[in-house]
Structures are given as structure tokens and as C-alpha cells.
Structure 1
């Protein structure tokens, strides 16, 4: 059985889907917005929220650093923008305390080795490696070397690259998310049957789904196809400034997402045919023979 323990929850075959609300950088550098998203995700019934942690000097390519762009804080260089939306120790200490208060787990995808060292002080229940980092083998080794569960995302990647990542990390304490890295992703490119393909190829690794599409139906379909965890970006308002907002789910939508996932899990049953007690009256009334 493919299962990994995250916090006090087992994630994998035979367990309820683990629902992650990705805050990412949708907080736009505002701790108040981050707290509103944490509270909304907790009220919606999500199991965890996820942030992104970068060391901009290590992550922003030199050719992009001085490119100027318009932001809510005025026109600034890309490197200055990356620092503007990056939380530091004090903010994450508040996030850590607030998540404990709200009873929801939190963790981050780390985009560089220094970010992993930074996050270790908070003892997160797991880590995630973004799709962009799947081929960054030194970063995968660094993150996996913490001994904490690691979720790898497989967007923008070939099967050979996925194989290489798994070979580097080993299948123990590893989870894998099928995803498409287009924001937002056209439904015809979601290729949800890859969930089954990955489950067959990596039977010891819990496989989930990270969605960047508009709408909820396809994420519900992923659960019906066997996704052991799901992740969707969360936002206060899809019209907010930011590159991920349009492919995100507002709090009310997140509540519907979780509620209907739980209904789907109940409805799937165990595949064993039986006559239910509620059918007895109809059986007695309608059966001729």
C-alpha cells in the first residue's frame, strides 16, 4: 500500500484525500492577507496550506533581475518585486502560530537550498518541490535529506525526468503530484489519466493532483480517478493582482471543493455489490419474479 504520514494524517491508498490550499505568493507580501487565506482554508476543511519560499538572489536569473514591471507598489525591478513578496522569519513565525491556532498544517515549496535551511527552523510536516525544480537534483537531495516527506510536482516534465527524480530520491517518504504547469490550464491539456499512469509506474508512491485550471469539476474527477491528495491555489479574489490569481479558487469555492470531495469518497464505496436496506421497499414493490 502506498502511504506516507504527514503530520498526524496518513496520505495514500485507502485514506481520505489530503486537501492542500496553496497560498503560494497570492498574499502579495501581506501578512494580513495570508492570515485571511489561512483562516478561510481552515474553515473550508482543508488539511494544509502551502507557501513558496525563495532566496531571490539565488532564484532570479541575472538576465531578469533588472527588468522593470508594474506592480501594486509602483514600477520596480523584478528582483525588488521578488523581495517585496517574500516573507521572512518574523512573518513565518506568525504564520506558524496562526496555523496552530486554526488547527491547520502548513509547509512550503522551497526553490533553493538556502530556503530549505530557512524552513527547517519551523519543523514543517513535509516539503514540496515545484515542477520547475523537478530536474534540480541537488535541491531534491537537499530537501529529501531533511528526512521529511517530500511531494514532487511533475508539470513541464518528461517521464524520463520523473524517473530520474524518483531514482535520485528513492520511493520512501515520497509523494507525487500530476499537474500541468500552464496557468490557467486548458481542460483538454489536463490529461487526468496520468494519475493512473503514475500509480501504475510508481506503486509505492502516493499519487495526487495539483490543479491550475479554472473551475472545480476536473479536480473532483481527479479524486474519482484515485488522487490521494489534491492541491489548488487559493485566493481572496481572483481579480487580485498576481500571476497565479486567475487560476486560483476563492474561499467559497474551496469550501465546495472539500465538501464535494468528501461526498465523492463516500459515493465511491468499496466495489462490492450488495442490496442496501433502502432498496428493500422498491425490491418488494417492483420485482415481478
Structure 2
């Protein structure tokens, strides 16, 4: 798989800024104006993208009685998911309007695709990347069709194992698509089950880019993901946690999202590169606090230098004390005062 891919003008790879995405696939409430406001938040925060979901309930659910429970600020709610998903849809014209708006704001819009009609919509809108849900991992015909498009595939892993990932990566290779980002995610509140080391493991095992989909408002694992090599990061965003419907209660509000984006950018910058390269500030401090070779007593001209006559003292402005042994046994050419620097020319 490629070690660097591009979505629009954003390069994704270990040597590039993290692609930061707002997860709004449910928290947009499939209200066009609310969706535009969320895109505005993404733009103003300095994040890169907004990720929606194409819901086609008839193509997704065979069991139309399945329920889903989630928390709101007013307590737990349980709903029929098939019926709820009927309201989670835009017409193709509305999607066009939203995509055009995102383009105008400089925000990449892409979507989770979980059905054939979702692929059709994505291609009609000319989306620049596909997000694939954990729950569609064994839907190989869907994967093969998406892989054949040749666009970047951001792939949630969630409940799958190494063999299952290997199968879909083979499908991508068979279709000539090497633009993958394996996205670590989980559905647990127990730290012992979060397994953040899956991020470097997937990078090494599948030689692919890796990312992380954050579950809620906490930041501990987000920071871990950055330091473990994530090149893509996704965080839930809402306009107001008190809104009804799914996921608002566990999402960041706009001001919090702004702060979070700054946090992630700063963590990534602080990681630096795999090398020892002191900062400019460190190098300035070095001049003040490193040592240089000085006389530890008055030394008359013609004296043969011994260890007791020399010392290393601050600041760093002459010969390093690491070369002290060079001077031992040599004769000084001039009078040298106590604490005076000793140079190569003095012996």
C-alpha cells in the first residue's frame, strides 16, 4: 500500500499534518442548514474535512425490528433503527448543494458508504474518498466495487481480526487500489479493551497508512493515536449537546472542537522527526549553559599543563572540555589568568 496518498490538496502520510475530520454523519440531524453550520465550524477550526453517512435503510437492513440505544443529556433512548434511518437522508440535489457549499468553504466532504446506492451517490457527487464502516467488513462485493473506483479508502476496523483485514486488503490489491488508511476504532468504555497498539501493528503488518476514529469527548486516546502514528483522526462534532437524536451527547461542541483541533495539531508538531535535532531555543540556551575549557588557576608562560590547572566551566564559548586531555603535558605560550579561556593557539 502507498505510504502517502492525497485527498484533494491534502497529503496524508507520516511526514504531513494529520488529516483532521469532523464526524457529523448523525449529528447533522440531516437538516441542510445545520449541516452547513457544521461545515462552517470545520472551516473555522482549521480542520480538513466533514464526514457524513449515506443512509439507504432498505438496502442496509433485512431485520426491520432491530433497535438501537444511545445516551442523550436527558437520559437513555431506544429506537427502531430502520425507522429512524428513514429520516437520516438527503435527496441527491440536497447532497449536491451541501457538497458545493463544503467546496466553497474549502472543506473536504466525504461519506461512509454502506450500500450500492451510496456508491452511486458518491460517484454522482464526485467525492474524493470513501469511508467504510466496520460493520461492512464481510460485504466483499461492496468492497470490490468501491476499491475499483481507485479512490482513497478510509477503513474502520472495530470488531475485526487480522485475517479479516487481510482479506479486504487483498481485494484492494486485486483491484489495483493501494490508497488505504486503516482506522482503529472501538465500542468499549474499558481502557483495557481499547488496544491502541493496534495502530502501529496495522501499519507494520499491512504496510499501510493508519488512523483513529475517536469515540467520545475524551482526548487521552486521541493523543495516543497521534503519537502511535495515526495520519487520520476523526472526532464527533455537534452544534449543541442538548439536541435530540444520536451521538450529540458524546460529541464536542464548536468551541471545544476548535480547542481539540489546536491540541491535535500541537501534539503532531511536538512529535517532530526520528532524529536528535535540538530546537533553536535549546541551542541558544546551550550557549549559556554548556562548558568550555578554562584555567583553574593563574598559569605563567612556559608552564607545563597538568589536570589540576584546567577546568570546564560555563558558558560555551571556546574549546570544549572533552578535549582537555589534548592540553595535558603541553607548554603554554603566554600568561593565562584564572578563569581565562584556553584556546588551541595557547599551547
Do both proteins adopt the same fold according to a TM-score greater than 0.5, normalized to the shorter chain?
Answer: yes
The question of whether the paired residues in 2 share the 8 Å contact of 1:220 and 1:257 is answered with no
- Correspondence for 2:235: 232
- The structural deviation recorded for 1:207 is 0.6
Is 1:197 aligned with 2:201? yes
Q: Provide Cα deviations, 1:32-72, integer angstroms capped at 9, x if missing partner.
A: 1111111111111111111100211111233427x799x9x
Is 1:175 aligned with 2:181? yes
What is the alpha-carbon distance in structure 2 between the residues aligned to residue 237 and residue 16 of structure 1? 28
Distance 1:153 1:76, change over 3 A: closer
1:148 to 147, 151, 160: 151
The question of whether the paired residues in 1 share the 8 Å contact of 2:28 and 2:34 is answered with yes
Is 1:164 aligned with 2:167? yes
Which structure's residues are more often helix, by fraction? 1
- Correspondence for 1:89: 92
Query: Which is further off, 89-98 or 242-251?
Result: 242-251
Tell me the SS of whatever aligns to 2:126. Answer: coil
Distance 1:213 1:122, change over 3 A: same
Distance 1:188 1:236, change over 3 A: farther
What is the alpha-carbon distance in structure 2 between the residues aligned to residue 68 and residue 45 of structure 1? 33
2:258 to 218, 231, 255: 255
Query: Which is further off, 278-287 or 267-276?
Result: 278-287
Matches within 5 A, 1:55-74: 55-64=56-65
* Structure 1 segments unaligned to the other structure (5+ residues): none
What is the alpha-carbon distance in structure 1 between the residues aligned to residue 180 and residue 252 of structure 2? 26
The higher relative CO (CA closer than 8 Å, separation ≥ 6) is in 1
What is the alpha-carbon distance in structure 2 between the residues aligned to residue 150 and residue 192 of structure 1? 21
What is the alpha-carbon distance in structure 2 between the residues aligned to residue 77 and residue 286 of structure 1? 68
The question of whether the paired residues in 2 share the 8 Å contact of 1:187 and 1:213 is answered with no
Is 1:52 aligned with 2:58? no
Tell me the SS of whatever aligns to 1:24. Answer: coil
What is the alpha-carbon distance in structure 2 between the residues aligned to residue 39 and residue 287 of structure 1? 50
Q: Provide Cα deviations, 1:58-106, integer angstroms capped at 9, x if missing partner.
A: 11233427x799x9xxx99643421212111122011111101211110
Tell me the SS of whatever aligns to 2:235. Answer: strand
Tell me the SS of whatever aligns to 2:102. Answer: helix
* Structure 2 segments unaligned to the other structure (5+ residues): 73-77, 292-311, 313-347
Is 1:125 aligned with 2:131? no
Tell me the SS of whatever aligns to 1:208. Answer: strand
Distance 1:109 1:277, change over 3 A: closer
- The structural deviation recorded for 1:261 is 1.9
Q: Provide Cα deviations, 1:236-281, integer angstroms capped at 9, x if missing partner.
A: 1223222322332222222122212221222122232244442355
The question of whether the paired residues in 1 share the 8 Å contact of 2:55 and 2:88 is answered with no
TM-score (norm: length of structure 1)? 0.89
Distance 1:80 1:219, change over 3 A: same
What is the alpha-carbon distance in structure 2 between the residues aligned to residue 58 and residue 281 of structure 1? 63
- Correspondence for 1:246: 249
CA RMSD of aligned residues (A): 2.5
Q: Provide Cα deviations, 1:130-182, integer angstroms capped at 9, x if missing partner.
A: 11112211111121122211111100112221111111222612221011134
The question of whether the paired residues in 1 share the 8 Å contact of 2:64 and 2:82 is answered with no
